Homo-oligomer: A and B are copies of this chain.
Amino acid sequence: MNSLNAIRLFTASVDAGSFSEVGRRLGMAPSSVSRQVAALEDSVGAQLIHRTTRKLSLTEAGRLYFERVSRILAALDEATAAVSHLEESPRGVLHVNGPTAFGVRHVAPALPDFLARYPEVRIELTLTDNFVDLLEVGADVAVRVGELEDSSLIARRLAPNRRVLCASPGYLAKAGAPERPQDLADHNCLVYTRHHGNVNWNLGGPDGLAEVRVGGNLRTNNTEAVHAAALGGLGIALLPSWLVGQEVQSGRLAEVLPGYRAAPGALDTGIHALYPADRHLSTKVRAFVDFMVERFGPRPYWEDPPQDGADASPMG
């Protein structure tokens, strides 16, 4: 196998006109240059350079090889430079994958700022609700809400994933506001569930953990449907803060049992960015993840303003 180094030394020798000169320029022994070129000649099976102790001159084969190989080396350096250039600063196409609801509400709105900061990046955003293999779909980074499947991917936490009990002010005015978890049993609770069977909400508060069997006239496997029903005044819902936080802040929804918190389950492990555990993390992915971490901060904009103990889980 003829080595790239030998070819580089060959062209350098042609340029310099002397193996010793090449050695001097490249800081290596002239004998090494001589041997590499000789090895190259052996590998192509032809004399490339006529040598005397005073000067080198190309053979016909050498001239032919030099002309072609010079351009090839330049092209190779260019290709390497192009790839290195890609990593100098965030640039190129960034494939982002995420769940539809969160993506629409919190990823897409962030993109204009991100693209303004990194004008050489182009984003391809794929929103899917079934978990997909990052590499399969060709994504560089994925945003995942809750339940991190075991994988070799690196997960960077972007935000907590708190769930809040809430209902529309209209519903509460009509049905009254529960005062203790047990009161939920007498309310129309809008249940998000993926399976049949009973549903319990686990609520932690000053008096410990309370588990309440809840139900009502709407069960659905779609969070957005629960959300819409709650906004419509149908009943009390347990929904992620990223979905209802801003509506609670604006008063379109009111928090129920504000002194209690839903016990963190598998769905509550947080909101993460996932990306391959490569040795060379691309700058565009790093930039994106850093940007999202910075944008959401320790307390995302959809959460209440800080209050005592609001961030610590009452469940310990």
Copy number in this complex?
A: 2
Bound CA span A185–B44, Å = 63
Chain A residues 18-69 with CB under 8 Å of chain B are 38, 41-48, 50, 52, 55, 57, 59-61, 64-65, 68-69
Contact B46 A84 (CB under 8 A): yes
| Total count of chain A residues near the partner, CB < 8 A | 51
At the interface, yes or no: A5 with Cβ under 8 Å from chain B? yes
Q: Which of A103-111, A242-250, A278-286 contacts B (4 or more CB under 8 A)?
A: A278-286
Q: Which of A86-94, A171-179, A207-215, A299-307 contacts B (4 or more CB under 8 A)?
A: A86-94
With both chains docked as a complex, state the minimum distance between the C-beta of A28 and any C-beta of chain B, in angstroms: 12
Query: A69-B79, A135-B52 in contact; A3/B5 too (CB < 8 A)?
Result: yes
Contact B4 A282 (CB under 8 A): no
Chain A interface residues toward B at CB < 8 A: 1-5, 7-8, 38, 41-48, 50, 52, 55, 57, 59-61, 64-65, 68-69, 71-72, 75-76, 78-80, 82-84, 86-87, 92-93, 135, 138, 140, 152, 276, 278-282
Q: What are some 5 contacts across the A-B interface (CB < 8 A)?
A: A4-B7, A43-B80, A44-B83, A50-B276, A60-B92
